[in-house]
Structure 1
Amino acid sequence: MTLRLILVRHAKSGWDDPLQDDHDRVLNPRGRDAAPRIGTWLATRGYRPAEVVSSTARRTLETWERMAPLLGEGTVMRRDPGLYHAGAERMLETLNGCAVSPVLMLGHNPGIADFAARLLRKPPDSPRFARYPTCATLIADFDTDDWSMVAFGTGTVIDFITPKDLEG
């Protein structure tokens, strides 16, 4: 059996209020536009999550809220405070605890870029991958039937996209 991960960095957020706590920042207009475009891209390719695991930051939750209507019913949503600015090791630990496939994980840089790079056998052929810009989305498969068996260097790239790639 194969397990599938959909790894999404939150969409672009605003810095309008310098006094606002980072955890509470919301999406800016560009981010509010990008999240549903990525959601549509996922839906048209059949990349529909069975489980979503998200950081508790407002911008990650809002990213999912804007994607969810495009990806159908029946998705289990789990908010994980440990994913807020998590490093690659913490993200892998969270993934190892998942139960169904596909999993969509929503997180932040710099951790998500490091996690994506370390998770794969070989990176995608994209100049944007190393930077993992806002709303970047990786689809990766793992040759196992148990998330607890997923380790760094075991993923195979299926797809990678950024909002910029969809501007066509």
Structure 2
Amino acid sequence: MKTLLLARHAKSDWGIHGLSDHDRPLNGRGRRDAPDMAGRLAQEAVAVERIVSSTAKRAAATADEYAAAFGLTVVEEPALYGASARTVLEVAAALPDDVAVAMLVGHNPGMRDAVVELTGAFVEFPTCTVAECAVDVGSWAELVEGSGRMLRLRTPHD
């Protein structure tokens, strides 16, 4: 049994003209929500062992908050930027098997769609949402559509 947390980055800043989508930072709400959500997970004793993030600035900043809460280093994965659900699940399937609890930080619609494909649960996925999914596999490489179930969906507004 593995646990996969699929997280959408916190709210980003659209007001800075001339920045590429990849380079958009978090806005004020995002800078508040990301550490709050990270603190909630840590307080709830969610035992994250590995954090893999999109390289986009807003996702990396969100992942850094989770990493600080769990005393981890973020692994950046370029494939998570703009990833489809299939790519998100492929990144998860490539995780090392000594990791039991992993978090991927990325973007919609890929993250939401990955939750749907993995668990069959149709969910709203606003910014800074984290879906905690149990994955009924012994090895991450066995992860396939339908192999998970939703344990808990957390949003900043809970």
Question: TM-score normalised to the size of structure 2?
Answer: 0.93
Aligned residues: 156
Cα distance, 1:66 vs structure 2: 2.2
1:104 aligns with 2:103: yes
5+ residue gaps in structure 1? 124-128
Q: Secondary structure at the match of 1:11?
A: coil
Cα distance, 1:50 vs structure 2: 0.9
1:80 aligns with 2:80: no
Aligned to 2:133: 140
Q: Secondary structure at the match of 1:157?
A: strand
Structure 1 residues 70-115: Cα deviation after superposition (integer angstroms, max 9, x where no partner): 22x2x35211111101001111111100011211100101111111
Matches of 2:143 and 2:67, distance apart in 1: 26
Runs of 4+ in 1 over 3 A off after TM superposition: none
CA-based RMSD? 1.3
Map 1:1-168; keep pairs closer than 5 Å: 2-71=1-70, 73=71, 75-99=72-96, 100-121=99-120, 123=121, 130-165=123-158
Matches of 2:31 and 2:152, distance apart in 1: 22
Q: Does the 8 Å CA contact 2:85/2:114 hold for their aligned counterparts?
A: yes
Q: Does the 8 Å CA contact 2:63/2:74 hold for their aligned counterparts?
A: no
Q: Secondary structure at the match of 1:4?
A: strand
Q: Does the 8 Å CA contact 1:50/1:76 hold for their aligned counterparts?
A: no
Q: Does the 8 Å CA contact 1:36/1:67 hold for their aligned counterparts?
A: yes
Matches of 1:28 and 1:47, distance apart in 2: 26
Structure 1 vs Structure 2: percent identity of aligned residues?
A: 35
Q: Does the 8 Å CA contact 1:39/1:67 hold for their aligned counterparts?
A: yes
Q: Does the 8 Å CA contact 1:52/1:105 hold for their aligned counterparts?
A: yes
Matches of 2:58 and 2:69, distance apart in 1: 18
Q: Secondary structure at the match of 1:163?
A: coil
Matches of 1:77 and 1:49, distance apart in 2: 11
Cα distance, 1:46 vs structure 2: 1.3
Cα distance, 1:19 vs structure 2: 1.3
Question: 1:51 is matched by which residue type in structure 2?
Answer: R
Q: Does the 8 Å CA contact 1:88/1:115 hold for their aligned counterparts?
A: yes
Q: Does the 8 Å CA contact 1:7/1:139 hold for their aligned counterparts?
A: yes
